[in-house]
Amino acid sequence: MTVLSRLLTHALPVPLACALLLAGCAVGPDYQRPDAPVSASFKEADSATPAWTGDWKPAEPQDALARADWWIVFGDAQLDALMSEVQISNQNIKAAEAQYRQAVASLQAARAGFFPTVDAQAGASRARGASGSTLNGQSATLGATWEIDVWGRVRRQVESSEASAQASQADLASTLLSTQATLAQSYFLLRVADAQKALLDRTVADYQKSLQLVQNQYAAGTAQRSDVLQSETQLKSAQAQQIDIQITRAQLEHAIAVLVGKPPAALTLAADDFRTAPPRVPAAVPSQLLERRPDIGAAERRMASANAQIGVAQAAYYPTLSLSASGGLTASTLARWMSLPDRIWSIGGGLAGTLFDGGLRSAAKAQAVAAYDQTVANYRQTVLGAFQEVEDNLAAQRLLEQEAVVQNDALRSAREALALVNNRYRAGTAGLLDVLTAQTSAYTAERTALSIAGRQYTAAVVLIKALGGGWHAPGAEAAQAGADQSVSQR
């Protein structure tokens, strides 16, 4: 049996046992999640709002679950392809993922405090003394030091780091969800721009026909010069809008390119039809919102982290207990080193504490308590903001449906009025001003209807995001099972 092994076997058990008995406590408050302002139901949800049935998945008790491909409800293959790119190429998501890895590494560093530090040293020396003699020496030692976590400082630090890592994981999920929602909104706005461009193309063609007709009438002496000018004004105004909508579309296409991690010049999206029937998004139970939204999860985990830091600050009031042991071999000559070197060892323990620091520890604890209070306020504000976001978009979903019905009625009336006025104009019982007015009314009504449809899509996307994602597609269970790894198991 070596010197160090005998040392560890016979000398350490008594102080170690005492230390471990003391190590069962952890100073500071144990974490209890504060209450949050939660209502019993959503005010803006009406009887037409579907409940959590069919493909919609109710909240799970963790916010870190994979949220599956919620965008497939829109049934757009181009959007599906863009979503697959954004998850692997978006730089904001990559940055959030790197931040999460930093948090996991910090947790691993905090856990290292549970274990002793072991080091080894070896050396050789040769010196000449005052008497002229030469002194040689060789040595090799192995040492260990261990700070016993008597007051739970290390445990509280690990608790804080673990909660911070979980918050960072939730931040990653929040960044992913937010980026996906931004992409979906930009994509649908681009499709609205496509539809408006197609409408303007048809409108310009109709106005050109009207202008040609008026010019022919003017040449025949049956129309006034003012009629030609009015028709030209109408045409040029529509052409200006036709150009302007291309600016909007180009900017949206550029934004989508950046979201999927490409320079704007590397992405071109062909114009496509715009579907004017967005899905109706069901509302969750209010209490489930606290479990689903990753930003709420991140805020709650930051509360837990700040709460543990109070314990870390409080542990500074107590002395630290450390144990140390070392053992090794030494010899004055190489021959003696090879045959019978001298054995050396040491063992010790110590307490170290601060008697006076000018209020430094008190200030540190007060700072930790204030930081915790701040996270509580931030958490409750995040919850309130989440409920507002849901209520806003539930109201938008419901009222835009009503507005779309009324606007479609207005569009049908405008088209019918235009047809009647055109017939009267050909019969000579209506003037050009009547035709221009009817054309403008029909165009405005159709463009407004397209705008409302775009707002419906935006409200649907934002409502899904506000509810924490959660579109439940086939095969999502497997994705969730692979993603459901708590940081504490790492």
Q: Which domain holds residue 373?
A: 47-112+152-317+363-489
Burial class (CB within 10 angstroms; exposed 0-12, middle 13-18, buried 19+) of 45: buried
- For 55-93, how does the pLDDT look when each residue is reduced to its tens digit (9 = 90+)? 434 333 345 445 578 898 898 999 999 999 998 999 999
Query: How high is the pLDDT of residue 443?
Result: 96
- For 430-487, how does the pLDDT look when each residue is reduced to its tens digit (9 = 90+)? 888 899 999 999 999 999 999 999 999 999 999 999 988 864 433 333 333 333 343 3
Burial class (CB within 10 angstroms; exposed 0-12, middle 13-18, buried 19+) of 234: buried
Number of domains observed in the structure of the chain: 1
pTM of the model as a whole: 0.82
Q: Is residue 324 part of a domain?
A: no
Q: Please count the other Cβ atoms lying within 10 Å of the Cβ belonging to residue 370.
A: 10
Q: Using CA atoms, how far apart are residues 356 and 364, in angstroms rounded to an integer? A: 14
Sheet architecture: strand order including 320-331: 117-128, 134-148, 320-331, 342-352
| Mean pLDDT value across residues 211-216 | 93
Looking at the predicted structure, is the pLDDT value of residue 243 above 60?
yes
Q: Is residue 261 part of a domain?
A: yes
Q: Is residue 240 part of a domain?
A: yes
Looking at the predicted structure, is the pLDDT value of residue 207 above 50?
yes
Looking at the predicted structure, is the pLDDT value of residue 262 above 50?
yes
| Ramachandran bin of 475, using left for φ above 0, alpha for ψ from -120 to 50, beta for the remaining angles | left
Q: Using CA atoms, how far apart are residues 39 and 490, in angstroms rounded to an integer? A: 36
Q: Is residue 146 part of a domain?
A: no
CATH number of the CATH domain containing 290: 1.20.1600.10
CB-based contact 136:332 (threshold 8 Å): yes
The DSSP bridge partners found for residue 331 are: 138
Q: Is residue 17 part of a domain?
A: no
Which residues have a Cβ under 8 Å from the Cβ of 340 and sit 6 or more positions away? none
Q: Is residue 447 part of a domain?
A: yes
Looking at the predicted structure, is the pLDDT value of residue 331 above 80?
no
Query: How high is the pLDDT of residue 423?
Result: 93
Q: Is residue 201 part of a domain?
A: yes
Q: Is residue 188 part of a domain?
A: yes
